Amino acid sequence: MHTIQTQTIELPHGIQLNCRTCGAETSPVLVFLHGFPQAAFVWDELLSHFGQRGYRCVAPNLRGYVGSSAPPEVEAYKATAICQDITALLQLLSPQAPIAALIAHDWGGAIAWNVAATAGPERLARLVAINSPHPATFLHALQTDAEQQQASSYMHFLSRNDAADLLAENDFARLWPFLRDADALDRDPAWMTPALKQAHAEAWSAGLRGPCAYYQQSPLKPPRGAGDPLMDLSLPERITHVRVPTDVIWGDGDRALRPILLDGLERHVDDLRIHHVADASHWVVHEQADIVIHHITQALQRG
């Protein structure tokens, strides 16, 4: 029986990532990337499941999150820097062969799309993106779709210099609604157990400046008007063309990331499968863990 352990991994460029791990070190590697406003603990059920089924599972706290390096400069949270962390981690974990899969949600997925495009099948055999839009389809929707522009408007708040302080006020009163249903913002969702609630609060207590800096540094935010620089932004193919076989798992009830973000995805991914989960929101990993595990298992069996 493999149990979840914690391990700090130092990368060649000096960044340390605090990781949750499960499974034998000699097994094929699965890497799990969390999003905002969570941390590596959200993968525990999947780490235990796959760690007991012949995989070495590693879930790092991303740069700026619990126990990992948290540089004070906002510029240290550009996507290129975070991608450098994950690419280096993959190399350390499996230097002789591609990892079996990179599995990612939300901001973790934003990083994973870029890593998959730039590192390619030489470093990872498969990508599984969970409610995380490809940067090209996200950019297109932000430029053209009023509904997605409105749904993503919260990003401007998270980009404020005082966002971390505001989010921490009154026992994180502004943060809990991010995890709740649109029609029940005053109460916790059914999946929020006391243990999970405590884990979230502990992660947030470790600091929110790094997590908010991801939003400050991202150019992909809803335009503020016709002259917004976003309207002229384009992304080079080297960071959008994904040659890695890819499965996308999508909770269709996501109120922040609309299904339109899947439109045209096949133009950017050579080998793509999309799995809709009708009765799930952005937090599908918690709401429908069995379905998520099923789709990941099927993806891994395809090789």
Give me the number of domains the chain comprises. 1
pLDDT for residue 229: 96
pLDDT for residue 1: 62
- What is the C-alpha to C-alpha distance for residues 15 and 12, in angstroms, rounded to an integer? 7
Q: What is the mean pLDDT of residues 91-100?
A: 97
- What is the C-alpha to C-alpha distance for residues 255 and 281, in angstroms, rounded to an integer? 7
Q: What is the mean pLDDT of residues 167-176?
A: 97
Residue-wise pLDDT tens digits, 24-37: 999 999 999 999 99
Q: Is 209 helix (H, G, I), strand (E, B) or coil?
A: helix
Among the listed residues 86, 38, 90, 31, the one whose alpha carbon sits nearest the alpha carbon of residue 65? 38
Residue-wise pLDDT tens digits, 215-245: 999 999 999 998 999 999 999 999 999 999 9
Residue-wise pLDDT tens digits, 286-299: 999 999 999 999 99
pLDDT for residue 132: 98
Among the listed residues 267, 276, 254, 247, the one whose alpha carbon sits nearest the alpha carbon of residue 139? 267
Residue 175 phi, psi (nearest 5): -85, -40
Token pair, residue 166, equals 């505001």
Does 182 score more than 80 pLDDT? no
pLDDT band at 74 (very low <50, low <70, confident <90, very high): very high
pLDDT band at 209 (very low <50, low <70, confident <90, very high): very high
Does 277 score more than 70 pLDDT? yes
CATH number at residue 136: 3.40.50.1820
- What is the C-alpha to C-alpha distance for residues 102 and 124, in angstroms, rounded to an integer? 7
Q: Is 21 helix (H, G, I), strand (E, B) or coil?
A: strand
256 to 65, 148, 159, 183: CA distances (angstroms): 22, 8, 16, 14
pLDDT band at 201 (very low <50, low <70, confident <90, very high): very high
pLDDT for residue 16: 98
- Report the percent of the chain where pLDDT is more than 70: 99
Enclosing domain of residue 56: 5-302
Residue-wise pLDDT tens digits, 144-164: 999 999 999 999 999 999 999
Does 38 score more than 90 pLDDT? yes
- Report the percent of the chain where pLDDT is more than 90: 95
pTM of the complete model: 0.97
Q: What is the rounded average pLDDT for all residues in the chain?
A: 96
- What is the C-alpha to C-alpha distance for residues 179 and 281, in angstroms, rounded to an integer? 10
- What is the C-alpha to C-alpha distance for residues 144 and 6, in angstroms, rounded to an integer? 43
pLDDT for residue 168: 98
Residue-wise pLDDT tens digits, 115-148: 999 999 999 999 999 999 999 999 999 999 999 9
